[in-house]
Amino acid sequence: QVCAQLCRRPCYCPWVPPRCPRGSPLVLDGCGCCKICARRLGEPCDFLHICDQSQGLVCDYSSAPAGTGGTCNFEDDEEGCEVNGRVYRDGEVFQPSCKIQCHCLDGGFNCIPLCQEDVRLPTPDCPYPRRVEIPGKCCPEWICEAQDQHLLRDARAVSPLLRHPCQEWGTEWSACSATCGLGFATRVSNQNRYCRLETQRRLCMVRPCPAAFPAVSEGRV
């Protein structure tokens, strides 16, 4: 009865099929006449505008008032995830890109990086590390940039104030080793003549130590 009311024969369809958003395939409408974009998870639907059955979606009228359309949902009411226009089932593991892997769970998804997020500090054999994209590889890699030592020596000769010709790096100074009186603080830095990582120390004093009370001699009666 619904088909007889909404579907007309013969079919009258546009010459040019619609352009669908990413993840929404072209399908025949509910009358089986014209091609339309399948509705995705959470989108409105009705008899004519059907849901993407390839993703296991059906038009859910359970929460819609009588006589109105429904919402695309999974047939077995199983929660899923939609990422970049594509629907993933609950429990499914997928990779939106080669750099991350995701897990659909309870309507949401958790992702972990597949590329190492390590940090490479300057070293004597590699004072200028740099992370670059390598053609044909997904994850970036660390490389050591070459530095012309002759130019560095010339720079030192021309400008004596250029004490650190390499990229400076260092940690914050630590807390003073003593709560009162003289102590020392430490840090790791490459700000030295050879641009090498080393532990540096400096004197510090938070506050003077209180004076000791003089001993009281016991007297005899």
Find out whether the peptide bond into 10 is cis, omega within 30 degrees of 0: yes
What pLDDT score does 147 carry?
58
202 close to 173: Cβ distance less than 8 angstroms: yes
Whole-model pTM: value is 0.37
What pLDDT score does 1 carry?
43
What pLDDT score does 186 carry?
84
Q: Could you tell me the mean pLDDT of each successive run of 10 residues in the chain, 221 residues long?
A: 64 86 88 91 89 87 76 72 77 85 80 78 82 86 66 43 61 83 78 73 75 49 41
What pLDDT score does 81 carry?
78
Q: Within 13 Å, how many C-alpha atoms sit on residue 128's CB side?
A: 9
Domain architecture of the chain: domains with CATH:
1-76 (4.10.40.20), 81-113 (2.10.70), 117-146 (no CATH), 170-208 (2.20.100.10)
